[in-house]
Amino acid sequence: MIFILRVILAIILLWVFIKTISYGKWTWDKKNRLGAVMIFVVALAAVILPIYVFYIRY
Amino acid sequence: MNNNITFGSHEAICLMITMISTKAILNFPSAMAKIGGPAAWIVAIYISLLVIIAFYIVSKLYSKFEDKDIIDIGGILGGKALKILLGVLILIFLIALLSFYLRSFSEEMKTMGFTISPIGFVMLFFVFGMIISAYVGIEALIRFQAIIVPVTVISFILFIIALIPSMSIDNIKPILGLGSYNVFVKGAVRISDFAELIFLFLLPPFIKKTDVFNKTGFIGLVICSLVLTSLTFSFVSIYPYPISTGDLLPAYELARIIKFGRFFERAESILVITWATIGFMYLSTAFYFLLHVFKKTFGLRYYEPLILPFALVIMSTSLIPERLMNIISLESGIFRNFIWIIVFILPVVLLIVTRAVRREKSGNSS
């Protein structure tokens, strides 16, 4: 059960990461460099923090 | 754009009540008891008065900046750099606040109704609520609060009335509790318990007019002060010091003692629904403003693509502390002792300097 939950979470994380990065790329193309960089930071945090909490800690 | 959405004083007051009074059902009464002992209720009145005075000063300074929020004012004074700096400070504040309260509400729900469920599972209900409300937007959220908050306030009044038979005046003696130094000097720092006032400084683009801003601030603060003081008074007059300092969920403990004869007992089971709704409103509003501030600070066109990543960040951050006790110590011992600098000192300094710069500029041009 835990394995299945971890696989589902990994798929969600990957999907959210790709979606956020694509928004960051779109913002970069609109010449909003700082906004794009901050979106990339949020995308990274949205992957690293759940991995730490759900895969490493538990 | 969001600035097309306008709401009146009733909606804004309801929002303020949700954001400030919510802590009454969490650890506010026991935090006050730790400072003032039996005089916890005096600490609550004292900080309420300090906040109303602080808001009076801010409202006078704010009068020249109709429909500008605190980030816009930063932009007027220091251009993009100060706007971003202020935005980042507010973002850090909101992320910390959301993490503390998401965990606290989830732990409270777990204690009351989901004792064997993992905390992450209970938390998911609130996180789904935050995500859905962020997609729906501020207008629906505000309208919902405008209906629910008056009902909540009435149920709170009934809750306090039901507690009256259990109160004992002997428990609040000596009147100055742990001493006037604790009450009036240490207590002053707890002005940070009204740190959610920052939401009012983010509201001007939505409420537009200065008189609505002032009305919202004063009426909202008075109602919040009454809620926080009455619950603190009830708590310390029922649970004598030092028992009152050790409780993690004071309102829950108070609800457990409500009893009318043999037929009306365990009132906390009714209150669970009310508290879950309050928690949902608080977290959803704070989450919306987190996205709004991020979008505004970095000049983004949409906030919707950031809803899921931010929800993941908040949920993960709130799960980092291992126990509820750790998160309460962090919130009560560190966060609330310093956040008054960002919420009260920073806006006052910013408004004074911006007004001075504007006056100088207009003097030079004439």
Residue B120: its chain A contacts at CB < 8 A?
54
Instruction: Note whether A10 contacts B: Cβ–Cβ < 8 A.
Output: no
Instruction: Report, as ranges of residue numbers, the positions in chain A whose pLDDT lies below 70.
Output: 58
> What is the Cβ-side half-sphere exposure of residue B140, based on CA atoms within 13 angstroms?
10
Host domain of residue B21:
2-365
Query: Using alpha carbons only, how large is chain B's radius of gyration in Å?
Result: 21
Q: Is B310 on the interface with A (CB under 8 A)?
A: yes
| B81 in contact with A, Cβ within 8 Å | no
Predicted confidence at residue B45, as pLDDT, reads 96
- Give the pLDDT confidence score for residue B248 in this predicted structure: 66
Looking at residue B247, its pLDDT comes to 64
Alpha carbon of A4: minimum distance to chain B alpha carbons (Å): 15
Q: Does B303 touch chain A (CB under 8 A)?
A: no
pTM summary value: 0.93
ipTM over 0.90: yes
pLDDT for the residue B43: 95
Q: Which residues of chain B have pLDDT under 50?
A: 1-2
CA B347 – CA B70 distance, rounded (Å): 7
Per-chain mean pLDDT for chain B: 89
Distance from CA of A34 to the nearest CA of B (A): 7
A35–B299: do the CB atoms touch at under 8 Å?
A: yes
Task: Give B264's strand partners.
Answer: B260
In this complex, do B316 and A54 lie within 8 Å of one another by their Cβ atoms?
A: yes
Tell me, letter by letter, the H, E, C secondary structure of B130-188.
Answer: HHHHHHHCHHHHHHHHHHHHHHHHHHHHHHHHHHHHHCCHHHHCCCCCCCHHHHHHHHH
Contact residues on chain A for B298, CB-CB shorter than 8 A? 32, 34-35, 38-39
The answer to whether the CB of B35 falls within 8 A of the CB of B326 is no
DSSP B248: S
CA B171/CA B243 separation, integer angstroms: 11
DSSP state of B323: S
Residue A53 to residue B319, Cβ atoms within 8 A: yes
* Domain count across chain B: 1
Q: How far apart are CA B205 and CA B157, in angstroms?
A: 33
Q: Chain A within 8 Å of B263 (Cβ-Cβ)?
A: no
Q: How far, in Å, CA of B125 to CA of B110, rounded?
A: 12
Residue from the list B305, B310, B317 with its beta carbon closest to the beta carbon of A23: B305
Q: With helix as H, strand as E and coil as C, how does A1-58 read?
A: CHHHHHHHHHHHHHHHHHHHHHHHHHHHHCCCHHHHHHHHHHHHHHHHHHHHHHHHHC
Q: Is B320 on the interface with A (CB under 8 A)?
A: yes
Asked if the Cβ–Cβ distance from B300 to A35 is below 8 Å, we say yes
Min CA distance, A57 vs chain B (Å)?
A: 9
A30 reaches B (C-beta below 8 A): yes
Min Cα separation B83/chain A (Å):
13
Report the alpha-carbon angle B330-B16-B220, nearest 5.
Answer: 120
User: Does any CB of chain A come closer than 8 Å to the CB of residue B176?
Assistant: no
Task: Answer yes or no: are the C-beta atoms of B148 and B277 closer than 8 Å.
Answer: yes
Which CATH number covers residue B71?
1.20.1740.10
What b/e string do you get for B296-306 counting C-beta neighbours within 10 Å, with b at 16 or more?
bbbebeebebb
Q: Which residue of B has its CA nearest to A28?
A: B300
Tokens in use for B322?
Answer: 């291992």
With CA atoms as reference, report the closest residue to B133 among B142, B143, B125, B141: B141
Phi-psi region of B37 (alpha: psi -120 to 50; beta: other; left: phi over 0): left
Q: For residues B349 and B358, is the Cβ–Cβ distance under 8 A?
A: no
At residue B1, the pLDDT reads: 43
- Tokens encoding B316: 């993960």
Dist CA B334 CA B281 (whole Å): 25
- For chain B, positions 177-236, list CB contacts with chain A under 8 A: none
pLDDT in tens, B230-245: 999 999 999 888 888 8
Contacts of B321 in chain A (CB under 8 A): none
The CA distance from A18 to A10, in Å, is: 12
Omega within 30 of 0 (cis) for the link into B150: no
